[in-house]
C-alpha cells in the first residue's frame, strides 16, 4: 500500500484552503492510482484537514464560506471515490445520522468503510427521525445499525433512538460514532449492552474484523 506522506497532506490541505477542487481531486486520484487504501485517505487527508480547518474557523482565521467550501469539496470527493461493487450481499448495515444531526461526513466515510469490507450498506444521510430509523431497520433487518451523533445538544434525541432500537431489537448490534461521545461514552452508554462507541475509522476496521 502507498503511504500517505506529510507532503501529500500539506498539498491537499493547501489546495483545500484555496478552494481548488480540481487539484484536490487530482491528488486523491493519484494516491488511489498508486494503491493507497481509501480508509487511509479518509483518515490522513480528509479528517486531518477538516480538524485543522475547523480550528482555523474557531479562531476566526477563515470565513464561514471558506469553511463550507472545504467541507463541500471533501463531501464531493467521498462521493466521487466511493467503493463500488465490493459487497458480498450477505452482511447488511444501516448507517444514519440521528434526528437533527446534520454533520454527515463521518457517517458517509463509515458507510464506505463497511462497503470496502464487503458489507451491503444502506446509508440514510443526515437528520433521520427516530420513528423512520426504527421502521427502516425493521424492513431491512441489518446485522448492525451505525448511528452518527456529533452535537451533544442532541443528547435527548440520541437516547430516544437508542432506547427505541434496543426495545424493538434487543439483540441488534448498534455502533455509535461522533464527537459528542468523545469524552463520556462509558457514562452515556453504560446501560446499553449491545451499543458500542467507535472513536475512529481505524477502530471501526478492528471492530469489523471481530464481528
Give Cα separations from 36 to 6, 121, 148 (angstroms).
14, 22, 26
Q: Count of residues for the chain? A: 211
Q: Is the pLDDT of residue 1 over 70?
A: no
Which residue bears the cell 439483540? Answer: 171
- For the entire predicted model, the pTM comes to 0.89
204 and 148 in contact (C-beta within 8 Å)? no
Q: What are phi and psi of 183, to 5 degrees?
A: -115, -15
Q: Is the pLDDT of residue 205 over 80?
A: yes
d(CA 75, CA 27): 15
Cell, residue 66: 471558506
Task: Give the pLDDT mean for 75-99.
Answer: 85
Contacts of 186 (CB under 8 A, 6+ apart): none
- 186: pLDDT confidence band, cut at 50, 70 and 90? confident
Q: Collapse the DSSP code of 159 into the 3-class scheme (helix H, G, I; strand E, B; otherwise coil) and give the result.
A: helix
Amino acid at each position: 500500500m502507498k503511504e500517505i506522506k506529510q507532503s501529500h497532506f500539506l498539498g491537499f490541505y493547501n489546495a483545500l484552503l484555496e478552494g481548488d477542487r480540481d487539484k484536490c481531486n487530482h491528488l486523491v486520484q493519484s494516491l488511489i492510482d498508486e494503491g493507497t487504501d481509501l480508509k487511509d485517505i479518509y483518515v490522513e487527508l480528509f479528517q486531518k484537514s477538516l480538524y485543522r480547518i475547523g480550528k482555523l474557523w474557531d479562531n476566526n482565521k477563515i470565513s464561514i464560506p471558506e469553511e463550507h467550501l472545504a467541507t463541500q469539496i471533501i463531501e464531493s470527493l467521498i462521493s466521487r471515490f466511493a467503493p463500488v461493487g465490493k459487497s458480498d450481499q450477505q452482511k447488511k448495515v444501516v448507517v444514519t445520522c440521528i434526528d437533527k444531526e446534520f454533520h454527515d461526513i463521518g457517517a458517509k466515510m463509515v458507510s464506505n468503510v463497511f462497503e470496502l469490507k464487503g458489507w451491503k450498506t444502506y446509508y440514510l444521510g443526515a437528520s433521520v427521525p427516530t420513528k423512520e430509523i426504527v421502521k427502516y431497520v425493521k424492513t431491512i433487518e441489518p446485522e448492525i445499525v451505525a448511528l452518527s451523533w456529533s452535537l451533544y445538544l442532541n443528547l435527548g434525541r440520541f437516547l430516544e433512538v437508542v432506547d427505541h432500537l434496543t426495545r424493538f431489537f434487543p439483540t441488534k448490534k448498534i455502533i455509535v460514532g461522533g464527537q459528542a461521545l468523545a469524552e463520556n461514552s462509558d457514562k452515556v452508554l453504560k446501560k446499553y449492552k449491545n451499543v458500542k462507541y467507535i472513536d475512529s475509522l481505524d477502530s471501526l476496521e478492528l471492530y469489523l474484523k471481530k464481528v
